[in-house]
Structure 1
């Protein structure tokens, strides 16, 4: 059941349905894959792939705009350090939205009978669907971004209802969480509508001719804090208890407390301290979409969750409407018997998320390590399981020390079988390990692993305190390093910093807790990016047998030696090697002056852009048929991928403004212009109308729009303006000034993906990694050069970069590869390359200028540079750094 050999490591890579994981041997892929997947998923993946490849043909114009913006437009977002970085949604998030939109726009799914058309198993019947309304379930591994999917789906529904005349979607949203802890987590993202603007959810005004940001008017209501002033444009964020239909829902034998079922309902008040009847408010609306987070709770028509939603739908039907859509997102959409919800339309399984480093890798002790500990014969709980607890602490300590270097706090998670033993383990940890005194947080859950919620008295105060501790536990300000709980929390306590899990009990089927949920509490990653992270899982034989059952889902559980004297299983940390007593860090340190940028962009000059003097090859204006004019497709000028589609409506009305807006935004994003949209829009409009086709054209004509969608026209407009803007706005300062300096020994620790590395003696860093094998070879050469005092790889964390103008005329940054310190106060900056590109001469020219500037501004250290290409290096095989300088001097100067 291993992943396909071609399955990609990048979570952004578009996944072909033919290489997706399925629960069987690879030999059965052709014959049995469809029957072994969630019944609707296999066929839907193929249909959605064709939908994606077509450029979203069949979707409404609003849906196409949103899909193109989210998944095809480049998004540069500001970072905490003042820089910008490209943001990209995971493919799993993209596929979920594409599937939802395909089912609604293209297929026109209204109910279960429409969904059943996609059954590949032949075993799906109408009786397996309890609901009579439109319901989609999205299955995504814990930590893979379900909240982002919810935000995208919400925005899509809002704009679809706003812009599409016949839309059956909604602009009111009931976002349901299963408990208070999940509610707090979702609220953190939704507060102030921050997720919609921090992420590129809302489109820029002008994209495809709509004022998206101005039109996105929503009010967030949290729990009982409801102030409905408009009947549309509301998000009600609540836990399910606030929307129960009260007396309308009969008690169930599956309720946590079955007294009402067997003895009849007691004449009591509300189960919460609700100040308003939120249930009645949402039932009074004319349009509504429901989004369920952690939606595996809705697995039975007898339960209050389902019946509350059913009641809302029936109220809407009475007013001539219906529930527009119920969207459930969860990592485990499974019934108590393990069967998956038949409404599952998209699936990103845990095995794929682990492979793509979206979540942590579970690691178990190897056989030799497990043989060292056992359950002792004792009636005292902590004595019986002392070996497991101690091993958990040992593993946690090692992880704690490594992550502390990066200002991260590792968390140990211990679970027991009842509240008495929970308290006993907490006392044992605090009494036996000084560093855990006052650092153990105890959580008592109900028998099914859920956190008890109370509405009044002391219990409510304790819950409020628990919520606060839950929100803060990952921070260094929180005193807690260990969580001890009865059972594993089913959901909500999504701690990112759990590095070690210790299980002191086996789960029974009655608890309805799955191994995915057990591991899920430790799967969320601590670090951004594709760095491999790990969670160590330790426990009794019965517990480990339960955890290992996750292998049926394709997860490969890594095993390693654990205990004293073993290496921690943590990400690779690059840091200053202070612990190495053989190194004189101060002597090995290299100081690099930081100059003010020499090149900059003068935005005020954009007004001086003259479209009549641009140098380009005019484009032939072609006649297109009326049918050809209807669909206008824009493609990326480098990849040929469809980026933008405009379909004319039945009236044949063309809006040239959205096309000019598209060109304007593309030019601005590629040049990273932060202002000047209005000026550039006007220039491009004039250029297209009067210059591009060597004749004046009618911008209102559908034929003109069709001409603009041709690759020749698209490329000419974008490239001509980029070239002209760079020539006009990129300026060079005539002098240089030292504004700061970088000392390598001040570099903060950072993590890298697991890869080959060198343990250097002549570097302030503990490891030297290379972006290529040649870089490692060159580092080894420097290590062995007797005339090299010290050297260092110029990691991004060092922040030594040079601004320069690349071959395309854009301002960008260049990070040289190595810094080498020689005797007599000499420092050489080294650039290594296995293969040349067009930017190499420009980089070298800038590096030479930088060295000249530095040497003029100061005389304490002489700075030089050298370019080393792999082929020449291996051919001439220098024996010392002096040989390298002599042998490559001519090449350098050339």
Structure 2
């Protein structure tokens, strides 16, 4: 049941259906895979792959535009003064949206009978579907971004209904959360439409001919705060219990059992009245889409939630409409008996999420560590389980110390069996461990993981405080380091900082809790990127047996030594080695001058672009048949991947504007230009119309549009403008001045991916991480050079970078590899290279200029540089750093 050997490490990589995980040996992939997965998923993955590879043929224009914008366009993250990075959706999020759109646009799926066409098991029947409306279930591991999928699905439905003449989708949305905690989280993302504008959900105005951002007019209504003033453009965000219709009284903070008030009632057949009658709201609107978060709570057609949504659907039917679509997102779409919802159309399982470092890796004690644990013969709960509590605290402390270096607070999670023992454990931890005094938060839960405060009868103010404390426990401002609960908080507490889980009992079947849900509260990552993170899981034999049952889902549980003297289960942290008494950090420190930039871009010059002076090879203008003229597909000029598709509109008229806009946006994004689109659009339009083909052409002609989709035309337009803009806007400053200095000993700690490293003696850092084997080899060489006083790998966290003009004429940043201080006092910047590229000469020339500028600006220290290639290093085997300085050139020509 291991992952396929070709399964990629990156969560952004496109996953081939043939390398996806399935619950059997790899040898059975060809014969049994389809029958062992969610019944619809295997065939849908293959169909969606063909849909993706074919450029989304069959999808509406609106859907194509959105899919292209979300998943194929580069999304840069602008900082205050420059571009600071880029954003890319996970493939799991992409596949979920592609599947929804494929089923709606291409298949035209309207009900269960359309979905049953994709059954690979042969066991799905119509009776397994309770609903009569269109419902898709998206299965995604905890922490893999379900809320982002909800935002994309919502935007797609809105625009599809707005822009597609015959659309049956909706511009009103009922967003359902299972409890108040989840509702608060969604509200934070949706408030002010934050997620839609902060993430690249909404295309730029003008993209493919629409004013997307101007047209996205929506009002968010939370719970009882509903004020419907228009028939479309509403998001109704509510708890699941507010959807029910009936005659019972709403939960109150004055109730004896205030759990219902705090978390939101989950009736088991009974119904609950609501201050907001959604039935009344639906009477005033003609279109609605339902989005369900944490949707594993909806599995029984007898429950009031189902009857209420069915009632909404029926009301819409009476008005000649229908519930347009219901999308459920959850990590565990399973019935009480463990059977998966047959409506599941997309699946990103936990085993894949762990492999791609989207979530933490669960770690269990190895056999020797576990053998040291025993349940004591005592009637006192904390005495009976003292070994487990002590090991949990030891593991938590080690993680706490490591994460504290990064400014993060590790959290310990302890689960007990009832409220009395929960209180006893909390008191035990506070009294026995001084560092936990005042740091234990107690949350009572019922047998199924729901909050229960019946015993204490807490009032509204106390419950609000508990809710606030629970939500803020990750922050350093919170005094709490431990949560003690009855069983496990089932959902909603999406804390990121849980590093250790201690379970002191087994789950019973009636709890309806799955091991994925138990681990789920500790799986969310603390750090961005693809670094490995871990959650240590300790507990009784019964609890561990329950946790280990997750291996049936393909999850490989790591087992490591735990207890005193063992390593912390944390990511690799690189930091200044201040605690090492064998190092003189002051003596090992190296100071690096920071100079003002040498190159910059003068954006105002875009207006001076003169197409008459462009240097390019004209493109032959071809004549295409009428059928060929409708195949307008644009491909990436380097990879050949389809990036943009323009189709003639319903009147058969080609719109060249979206193509010109595509060219202009591509140029701007590749050059990281933050303004000037209007100017550039006009320049591109003029060049295409009068110069590209060596003659004037009719931009309105479908034949011209078809010519523009040819790779030669696309490449010529984009590359010609990039070259011309670089020549026009890239400017050099005459001199540079020292504006600051970098001291290596001031570098803040940072986490890195688990990889090979070396423990240095001559560096301020505790580890040298090599991006290649040669870098580690070279670092080892520096350690043993008698004439090297100190050195350091130039990590990104050091912030030593040089601006330079790359081989394409664009402005880039260059991070040299090593900084070395030698015995004669010089500081030498070293660039190591295995595979050389075209950028080596301009980098080395820029490094030469930097050294000249620094040496001109100050005379205390001489700065020099050298280029060391692995082939020469192996061939000549230098014995000292002076050998390197005399035996290697300043740069090596290709």
TM-score > 0.5, shorter chain as reference: yes
Q: Is the 8 A contact 2:245 2:277 kept in 1?
A: no
Partner residue, 1:632 = 632
CA distance 1:318–1:263, change in 2 (3 Å): closer
Alpha-carbon displacement from aligned partner over 1:233-290 (angstroms, at most 9, x marks no partner): 11111111222112499xxxxxx99xx9999989xxx666x4x434532454211100
Q: Is 1:202 matched with 2:202?
A: yes
Secondary structure of 2:627's match? helix
CA distance 1:334–1:262, change in 2 (3 Å): closer
Alpha-carbon displacement from aligned partner over 1:331-381 (angstroms, at most 9, x marks no partner): 000000000000000000000000000000000001111111111111111
Partner residue, 2:145 = 145
Q: Is 1:61 matched with 2:56?
A: no
Q: Distance in 2 between matches of 1:864 and 1:323?
A: 70
Q: Distance in 1 between matches of 2:453 and 2:164?
A: 42
CA RMSD of aligned residues (A): 2.0
Q: Is the 8 A contact 1:664 1:684 kept in 2?
A: yes
Secondary structure of 2:8's match? coil
Partner residue, 1:591 = 591
Q: Distance in 1 between matches of 2:294 and 2:268?
A: 31
C-alpha displacement at 1:467, in angstroms? 2.1
C-alpha displacement at 1:466, in angstroms? 2.2
Q: Distance in 2 between matches of 1:779 and 1:842?
A: 25
Partner residue, 2:511 = 511
Partner residue, 2:621 = 621
Counting only pairs closer than 5 Å after superposition, residues 778-797 of structure 1 correspond to structure 2 as 778-797=778-797
Q: Is 1:188 matched with 2:198?
A: no
Partner residue, 2:277 = 277
C-alpha displacement at 1:229, in angstroms? 1.6
C-alpha displacement at 1:804, in angstroms? 0.3
Q: Is the 8 A contact 1:93 1:148 kept in 2?
A: yes
CA distance 1:893–1:175, change in 2 (3 Å): closer
C-alpha displacement at 1:481, in angstroms? 0.5
Partner residue, 1:244 = 244
Partner residue, 1:253 = none
Counting only pairs closer than 5 Å after superposition, residues 195-594 of structure 1 correspond to structure 2 as 195-247=195-247, 274=275, 276-282=276-282, 284-452=284-452, 458-594=458-594
Q: Distance in 1 between matches of 2:12 and 2:207?
A: 24
CA distance 1:734–1:721, change in 2 (3 Å): same
Q: Distance in 2 between matches of 1:262 and 1:317?
A: 27
Alpha-carbon displacement from aligned partner over 1:508-565 (angstroms, at most 9, x marks no partner): 1100000000000100000000000000000000000000000000000000111111
Q: Distance in 2 between matches of 1:590 and 1:538?
A: 44
CA distance 1:335–1:201, change in 2 (3 Å): same
C-alpha displacement at 1:446, in angstroms? 2.4
Partner residue, 2:830 = 830
Partner residue, 1:120 = 120
Q: Is the 8 A contact 1:363 1:534 kept in 2?
A: yes
Secondary structure of 1:203's match? coil
Q: Distance in 2 between matches of 1:751 and 1:714?
A: 41
Partner residue, 1:22 = 22
Q: Distance in 2 between matches of 1:185 and 1:93?
A: 19
C-alpha displacement at 1:227, in angstroms? 1.9
Q: Is 1:865 matched with 2:861?
A: no
Q: Distance in 2 between matches of 1:17 and 1:663?
A: 33
Q: Distance in 2 between matches of 1:263 and 1:415?
A: 25
Q: Is the 8 A contact 2:248 2:273 kept in 1?
A: no
Q: Distance in 2 between matches of 1:820 and 1:418?
A: 60
Counting only pairs closer than 5 Å after superposition, residues 681-830 of structure 1 correspond to structure 2 as 681-830=681-830
Q: Gaps (5+ residues) in structure 1?
A: 250-255
CA distance 1:281–1:819, change in 2 (3 Å): same
CA distance 1:658–1:452, change in 2 (3 Å): farther
Q: Distance in 2 between matches of 1:102 and 1:264?
A: 35
Q: Distance in 1 between matches of 2:697 and 2:880?
A: 67
Secondary structure of 1:626's match? coil
Alpha-carbon displacement from aligned partner over 1:643-695 (angstroms, at most 9, x marks no partner): 00011134211111111100000000000000111100000010011111111
Q: Distance in 2 between matches of 1:453 and 1:653?
A: 65
Q: Distance in 2 between matches of 1:442 and 1:891?
A: 63
C-alpha displacement at 1:569, in angstroms? 1.0
Secondary structure of 2:646's match? strand
Q: Distance in 2 between matches of 1:575 and 1:278?
A: 55
CA distance 1:264–1:206, change in 2 (3 Å): closer
C-alpha displacement at 1:893, in angstroms? 10
CA distance 1:262–1:305, change in 2 (3 Å): closer
Secondary structure of 1:668's match? helix
Alpha-carbon displacement from aligned partner over 1:155-205 (angstroms, at most 9, x marks no partner): 000000000011110001111100011111111111111111111110011
Q: Distance in 2 between matches of 1:261 and 1:702?
A: 58
Alpha-carbon displacement from aligned partner over 1:99-131 (angstroms, at most 9, x marks no partner): 000000000000001000000000100000000
Q: Is the 8 A contact 2:865 2:890 kept in 1?
A: no
Partner residue, 1:252 = none
Q: Is the 8 A contact 1:453 1:460 kept in 2?
A: no
Q: Is the 8 A contact 1:180 1:467 kept in 2?
A: no
Q: Distance in 2 between matches of 1:599 and 1:847?
A: 13
Q: Distance in 1 between matches of 2:832 and 2:607?
A: 41
Q: Is the 8 A contact 2:247 2:273 kept in 1?
A: no
Say which is worse superposed, 218-227 or 846-855, in terms of deviation: 218-227
Q: Distance in 2 between matches of 1:139 and 1:262?
A: 24
Partner residue, 2:256 = none
Q: Is the 8 A contact 1:179 1:451 kept in 2?
A: no
C-alpha displacement at 1:83, in angstroms? 4.7
Q: Distance in 1 between matches of 2:365 and 2:781?
A: 38
Secondary structure of 1:47's match? helix
